[in-house]
Amino acid sequence: MTVKKYPPYAKAIPPDRDFIIICTGSDAWNRVKSKSWFGSLAKTLLPLKDDPSIYKWFFVANKEVIIFSNGATIEPYKRLIELTRTLLAYGALKVLWCIPAYKDTLFLSSEVSQ
C-alpha cells in the first residue's frame, strides 16, 4: 500500500486561509511558483496526469477551492471531476473551476454523490 503524501506546496498553506487555489495543466508548476500570479494566496497543484487519490487533501476541509487549469495541455474533464469529487470528499465547502473550456463550473459539497 502506498502512503499518501500532500500535493506539492500544500504543506506551506496556512490553516487560516478561507480559500485555496489548485492549479492543474501543463503550466501548473509555473503558476504555483509565480510570485506575481496571485502571489500571496494559498496555492498548490495537481501535477499533470497524476491521480488525485494519491494525495492527502485534508487541508481543504471547510475551505472554498478554486481550480485553474493553465497551459497548452489541460486536464481532461474526467480527471477534473475526479479531483473535484476528491476535494469535496475531504470536506471542501465548494469547488469552482476557472477554466475557459468549462465556463466557471461550480460544485457545492451538498451535491456530492458517493
pLDDT category at 17 given cuts 50, 70, 90 is very high
User: For the structural domain made of 18-102, what CATH number should be given?
Assistant: 3.40.50
pLDDT, tens digit (0-9, with 9 covering 90-100), for 21-57: 999 999 999 999 998 988 889 999 999 989 999 999 9
Domain extents for the chain? 18-102
- Residue 110 in this model has a pLDDT that exceeds 90: no
Cα 109 to Cα 91: distance, rounded to the nearest angstrom: 7
Mean pLDDT of 83-110: 88
Among candidates 110, 83, 78, which has minimal Cα distance to 94? 110
Q: Is the pLDDT of residue 114 over 70?
A: no
DSSP per-residue codes, 50-96: --GGGB--GGGTT-EEEEEE-SSS---HHHHHHHHHHHHHTT-SEEE
CA distance 80 to 84: 6
- pLDDT of the residue at 111: 56
